[in-house]
Chains A and B, each alone.
Chain A
């Protein structure tokens, strides 16, 4: 038992000693590691010479040894060589101190149990034995391992681990540096042998470098170096020695930021040097200059152009040809353009020149890729962009007409088209179809196209005035033409783009609708004028009353003022109504003119009426109105009365003018209705003729439509008959109207039984009986023509009678006025030398009064005549008015015995009378000229009409003789020969007419064609060879003769539109401008000049000259 206790203590001692050794070794190892690290670093960084390195190494070793001796030697010796140290006793004491119950009892027991000879004290063996036996008991409850001091060992172990970690970390961070340091530590003398060159490594050595690229030359060695490296650079024959920069791990660098030229280099170290290396500068292939030439697509009309040099971006129209040319910096062997779309376009290569051509098709980018003969490829190419310029859609609009319109009689639609495109237009067309008037559903597939002529394709803006002749279109009255304008641009690359206007409608109103409309407007105008006239009369009556009342009033009461104000207001309203009627009248006349509803003569009369009407609204009327208003403001009854008197006079004149206008308008309406009837008749004839022609050429399915058309003609005939009946009735109400002729015209229609004829023709068309149709048509046309002649006679009679009456009134008036003028002159002469108080003054006044009364009678007579003729002009009325006023004032002067004033006014009266005579003479001449001499257009057309009538007769007889192919009897053969002679007669008359009217129109050339046809017909008739072609030719002759009349009439109306390029003239300059530049001219001189311009006869001019001279002298004397 005792042995076991001792063993435990001994084991404790061993463990304790080992711990001490472990701690010491850890401590030493820590020191060694740190020392090694510091040493290696110092060796590496300090680059000490070998002696220094040895010294440092020795110092480090000494330190290591010292640390060993100090910390490791003793514990290790104790462990290895001193097993009883420390003694168990000392250990027992140390443990006993830890346990109060134990204290030194364990130590004591150990001492007692030790060998007795070792003790001085005598102890019994039993005791010794007992103590020995008790030792384990002391240690029984004690865990000795708890008393082992492990802390130092653990602490140093941790430190060792930290040092090792530090060491490793340093190695990881600076492996090269530490290796060098280690190398120098291990081999302090290495590197001093002089064997440097083979050990130096150089980068990049020999190398090709792209010009301008950065280069870094590095040099290093595996062995240790003392001192720096140098680099020797040779270029352009010069050698340059430069220091290299030392970097980490003894690597030396020399950087060239951009190498421009080739060079040789070598690394020098002390007296040694590497071989020479070559850095050869090479150029990468690249584009040096670029030139693009663009050829826009031909439709754009743009010229080819060059882009600025080195501009590779392109913005152009699709389809533009791009000629791409470039020059490379060096010869290349291979080149291409690479597009962002993936397309690769090889370039044509000739040395340094590169070229290709391609078309711009879309938006993309591209760059050029080049390769030279050494395989070097271009780098970092410039990317260029291709962009498309948009080619906009074209634009078209219809400037006129601005909306839906009614077609006029001439069946022409004047279109004013504006179209434009950014690069030009290639086509302009009208799309159209005929639709029923109220047809709502439009079948777009039925539109037909009419290409319009473009002067030049490719124009960017077109303003086209197109006069669309619809006369040959199958448009019937009350049908409408639906049309639009379409324009196409000239884009030939992507295909022409088109644009179109909205749909417009041109309606073809029937003649009867137009007449109805115009008649209704005319009725409104007449009613308006009548109402205005009535109101005017009433107003005048009120003015009379007002003037009477004012004569009796001393002052102007508020009530009176109010009444006058009301009158003025009423007048103003009447004036406005008159202006409105004037506007309506203008519109109506314009419409009639456009639709050619009137004969030129009636139209002229309407225009004169317009003038007359305009002159109703004289400036005097406005002035007098203002005067009345002014007098009212001043509250002066006398002044107001005077103003009202003047106003009354103006109002009276206005009422008279209105009365005359109204009367003329009513007569004109009658004349116009006659025109309408004639026009309707001609229209029916024309349509019947056309329908017959169409029927002759028609196929089965068309007949139904044509029969319907025939029915329409019959309805229109009925309308015409109704219009003629109305006209006859109206004429019956007015005296001197050719009612009988109109009745005769109606009778002709009834006699011919046209309604029945037309009905029968309708059936003939449906059955396809063309012969029946043709003969019926001729009978209808003949009947219509006879009726038309009667109407024409009625018109001639009407206008002739009116003119005759006016002429007679003017002649009568001229005679009377000349006589009055003479008497006035005598009176002036007799009163000129009369003394103030002469007893002959009253007698003179009486004679003046008689003269004045006579003048009034003449005026009344002329006024009555003026109601049915425009020949009596307002100028005549004005001159007579002046004469009358002057006579009144002369009479007043004589009554007041103011002979000076009387004489002056008598002179004025004379002047007025003479002026009136001059005006009346001019009016008569004008009327006489209207009846004309020589061959006028009217006569020409009249003769042509007669020839056409003759031709019509021949045609009808020829048809009846043709007899369906049977052989002709002798009588028929004789009749045929007669017809041939008649045809020859008409042909000769036609030639005669053409030669007589040679200067009348350049259309006469067309007559030659008719002549040739007539000749052929003549031969057919003479040779008894009448067949279908003869009949057709005859119809064509008649049709042309009638068309010719029509075209002549239209030409007469539109002659002003003829434009012929001017010939050369060499005029002489008029004289210099007068000093006053025409602004203030002597009125008398002006009047004389005007008289000259009006072309009076020499006698008259002499008379006028003297008259003006005398007036001038009088003015001067005054």
Chain B
């Protein structure tokens, strides 16, 4: 390996390690914040899903995770203490102008939002996220993207956890200054696959895939 190559390797390693270092320094345990949004949608849907994903992260990686999720609304002071925001639901979402502005600041300042459509959220989510980042387009993410590659490989993109309307699952993202700030899973509902098995009675392999994809998203968000 050339001298330059070694330097790049070192920098890459530091880039991978530093965010995790920062996390462990700021809070002893990583957790996922569930977004409490307005508009009447069931933001609280599937309460067991995030704790299960956290448990999966804890057992499958060296990431120290909390056992429980936290709930934040966009106007909460704690918003900026959460590196990873998760939202899901079946219905309406409405951000007030102030909330949209706050989410914009959060996302452009290093935050990450993962939205998972649990059927019926798509229209509302697209409309509201356009308010948040009007100059940014929601792009469909190709399967070659690292989010589908590491730590688990998904050569055909997002796994299909739940059928709902049928159709192929799609992953969309919004990028800000080259960094993915929003990842939107549509038509697959992977977070339902994180829930306790008795909730949706999904086969173990489907749940495993959903959890693996969840881990991919978290790891990507924390290391990029």
Residues of A within 8 A of B (CB): 399-400, 416, 453, 455, 461, 463, 465, 579, 586, 589-590, 593, 607, 610, 614, 617, 619, 1056-1067, 1069-1074, 1077-1081, 1086
Q: Is the CB of A1059 within 8 A of B164?
A: yes
Contact A1061 B40 (CB under 8 A): no
The CA-CA distance from A416 to B47 in the complex, in Å, is 8
Which B residues from 127 to 141 make CB contacts under 8 A with A? 135-141
- Is there an interface contact between B136 and A1061, defined as CB atoms closer than 8 Å? no
B142 contacts the other chain (Cβ, under 8 Å)? yes
The residue on B at minimum CB distance from A1066 is B156
| Max chain B C-beta neighbours (<10 A), residue from A455, A617, A1077 | A1077
A1060 & B162 in contact (Cβ 8 Å cutoff): yes
B47–A465 touching, CB < 8 Å: yes
Residues 74-98 of B at the A interface (beta carbon under 8 Å) = 90-92, 94, 96-97
Say whether, besides A586-B94, A610-B94, A1073 and B197 are in contact (CB < 8 Å).
Answer: no
Residues of A within 8 A of B152 (CB): none
| B160 and A614 contact, CB distance less than 8 A | no
Flag if A455 contacts B196 (CB, 8 Å). yes
* Interface pairs (15), CB distance under 8 Å: A400-B44, A455-B198, A463-B47, A463-B51, A586-B40, A590-B40, A614-B94, A1059-B192, A1060-B163, A1063-B166, A1065-B167, A1069-B144, A1070-B141, A1070-B142, A1086-B137
Stretch of B13-21, B26-34, B175-183, B215-223 on the interface side: B175-183
A1057 to B145, CA, bound (A): 31
B5 at the interface (CB under 8 A from A): no
| Distance to closest chain B CB from A223 (angstroms) | 88
B202 near A: Cβ within 8 Å? yes
Chain A contacts for B94, CB-based, 8 A: 586, 610, 614
B212 to chain A, nearest CB (A): 14
Is B197 a contact of A1067 with CB atoms below 8 Å?
no
Residues of B within 8 A of A453 (CB): 198
- Closest residue of chain B to A1057 (Cβ to Cβ) is B90
Whether the Cβ atoms of B196 and A463 lie closer than 8 Å is yes
Instruction: Tell me, in angstroms, the Cα distance from A200 to B202 when the chains sit together.
Output: 97
Interface pair B197/A455, CB less than 8 Å apart: yes
Closest to A1073 in B: B139
* Interface: B120 (CB within 8 A): yes
Pick the residue among A1056, A1065, A1081 that contacts B90 (CB under 8 A): A1056
User: Could you tell me if B202 and A1061 are in contact, using CB atoms closer than 8 angstroms?
Assistant: yes
Residues of B within 8 A of A619 (CB): 97
Contact across chains for A399 and B47 when beta carbons are under 8 A apart: yes
* Cβ-defined contact, A1065 with B168, below 8 A: yes
B139-A1078 in contact (CB<8A): yes
Query: Contacts of B145 on A, CB cut-off 8 Å?
Result: 1073
Number of B interface residues in the complex (CB < 8 A): 59
**Contacting pair B120 A1063 (CB below 8 A):** no
Q: Are A1078 and B47 in contact (CB under 8 A)?
A: no
Q: How far is the CA of A416 from the CA of B199 in the complex (A)?
A: 13
| Chain A residues with CB under 8 A of B178 | 1077
6 closest cross-chain pairs (CB), A and B: A1062-B160, A1078-B137, A1077-B175, A1056-B120, A1067-B168, A1069-B143
What is the CA–CA distance of A98 and B97 in the complex, to the nearest angstrom? 145
CA distance A772 to B153 in the complex (A): 72
Across the interface, which residues of B come within 8 angstroms of A1071, CB to CB?
142
Given A1069-B143, A1071-B142, A1061 and B206 contact (CB-CB distance below 8 Å): yes
Determine how close the nearest CB of chain B comes to the CB of A573; give it in whole angstroms. Answer: 17
- Residue of A586, A590, A593, A1065 touching B160 (CB-CB under 8 A): A1065
Chief secondary structure at chain A's binding surface: loop
Residues of chain A with a CB closer than 8 A to B164's CB:
1058-1060
Whether the Cβ atoms of B161 and A1074 lie closer than 8 Å is no
Q: Is the CB of A1069 within 8 A of B157?
A: yes
- List chain B residues, Cβ under 8 A from A586: 38-40, 94
A1078: nearest residue on chain B (CB-CB)?
B137
Chain A residues with Cβ below 8 Å from B142 are 1069-1073
The answer on a CB contact under 8 Å between B135 and A1062 is: no
Which residue of the partner chain, among B51, B91, B202, contacts A1056 with CB atoms under 8 Å? B91
CB neighbours of A1077 from chain B (8 A): 139, 175, 178
Q: Which of A1061, A1062, A1070 contacts B140 (CB 8 A)?
A: A1070
Are B135 and A1059 in contact (CB-based, < 8 A)? no
CB closest chain-B residue, reference A587: B40
- What CA separation (Å) do A1072 and B141 show in the bound complex? 8
- Docked-complex contact B206 and A1062, CB < 8 angstroms: yes
| Contact between B47 and A1064, CB atoms less than 8 A apart | no
- The interface bits of chain B over 106-135 (1 if a CB of A lies within 8 angstroms of the residue's CB, else 0) are 000000000000111000000000000001
Give which listed residue, B48, B137, B139, B169, contacts A463 with CB less than 8 A: B48
- With a cutoff of 8 Å between Cβ atoms, the chain A residues found around residue B92 in the complex are 607
**How far does the Cβ of A590 sit from chain B's closest Cβ, in whole Å?**
5
Bound state CA distance, A300 and B224, in angstroms? 43
User: A610-B94, A1057-B90, A1071-B142 given as contacts; is B163 within 8 A of A1079 (CB)?
Assistant: no
Q: Are A593 and B168 in contact (CB under 8 A)?
A: no
Shortest distance in angstroms between B161's beta carbon and chain A's nearest beta carbon?
5
Are A465 and B200 touching (Cβ within 8 A)? no
Task: Confirm or deny: B214 has a beta carbon within 8 angstroms of a beta carbon on chain A.
Answer: no
Question: Contact string, B191-205, partner A, CB cutoff 8 A, digits 1/0?
Answer: 010001111111100
Asked if B188 contacts A1062 (CB within 8 A), the reply is yes
- Report the Cα distance A1058→B201, complex, angstroms: 12
Which of A465, A1064, A1070 contacts B199 (CB under 8 A)? A465
* New A-B pairs, 5, CB < 8 Å, besides A465-B47, A1063-B166, A1079-B135: A465-B46, A1058-B119, A1070-B140, A1078-B137, A1086-B137
A1081 to B202, CA, bound (A): 41
Residues of B within 8 A of A1073 (CB): 139, 141-142, 145, 175
How far, in angstroms, from A590 to B37 measured CA to CA in the complex? 13
Is B163 within 8 A of A1063, CB to CB? yes
- Shortest beta-carbon distance from B184 to chain A in Å: 13
The yes or no answer to B185 lying at the interface (CB within 8 A) is no
Q: Is B65 interfacial (CB 8 A cutoff)?
A: no
| Pair A1059/B162 contact, Cβ less than 8 Å | yes
Task: Please indicate the chain A residues that have their CB under 8 angstroms from the CB of B96 in the complex.
Answer: 579, 614
Contacts of B51 in A (CB 8 A): 463
Residues in B neighbouring A579, C-beta threshold 8 A: 96
A617 to B131, CA, bound (A): 14
Residues of A within 8 A of B53 (CB): none
Instruction: Check A1079 against B175 for contact (C-beta < 8 Å).
Output: yes
Q: Tell me if B139 and A617 are in contact (CB < 8 A).
A: no
Q: How far is the CA of A455 from the CA of B175 in the complex (A)?
A: 41
With A and B bound together, what is the CA distance between A656 and B122 in angstroms? 31
Cβ B97 vs Cβ A617 within 8 A: yes
- With a CB–CB cut-off of 8 A, which chain A residues contact B118? 1056
Contacting pair A1056 B119 (CB below 8 A): yes
- Considering the complex, give the chain A residue whose CB is closest to the CB of B137: A1078
* C-alpha gap A1086/B139 in the complex (Å): 13
Complex Cα gap A1081–B157 (Å): 25
Within the assembled complex, what's the spacing in Å between the Cα atoms of A968 and B14? Answer: 97
Q: How far is the CA of A87 from the CA of B135 in the complex (A)?
A: 161
Q: Which residues of B contact A400 (CB under 8 A)?
A: 44
Q: Please measure, in the bound complex, the distance between the C-alpha atom of A90 and the C-alpha atom of B196, giving whole angstroms.
A: 140
Flag if A1074 contacts B47 (CB, 8 Å): no
Measured between C-beta atoms, what is the minimum distance from A603 to chain B in Å? 10
In Å, the complex CA distance between A1074 and B139 comes to 9
Q: Which residue of B lies closest to A611 (CB)?
A: B94
- The answer for the CA separation of A223 and B96 in the assembled complex, in Å, is 120
Complex contacts, A1062 vs chain B, CB 8 Å: 159-163, 169, 188-189, 206
Q: For residue A416, which residues in chain B have a CB less than 8 angstroms away from its CB?
A: 44, 47
Q: What residue of chain B has the Cβ atom nearest to residue A453's Cβ?
A: B198
Q: Assess whether B213 is interfacial by the CB under 8 Å rule.
A: no
- The CA-CA distance from A614 to B177 in the complex, in Å, is 30
Please give the distance in Å from A997's CB to the nearest CB on chain B: 19
B35 within 8 A of A: no
Q: Which of B48, B201, B202 contacts A465 (CB 8 A)?
A: B48
Q: CA–CA, A1071 to B141, complex, Å?
A: 8
Chain B residues whose C-beta falls within 8 Å of the C-beta of A617 in the assembled complex: 97
- Which residues of the other chain, B, contact A1086 by a CB distance below 8 angstroms? 137
List the B side residues contacting A1078 at CB < 8 Å: 136-139, 174-175
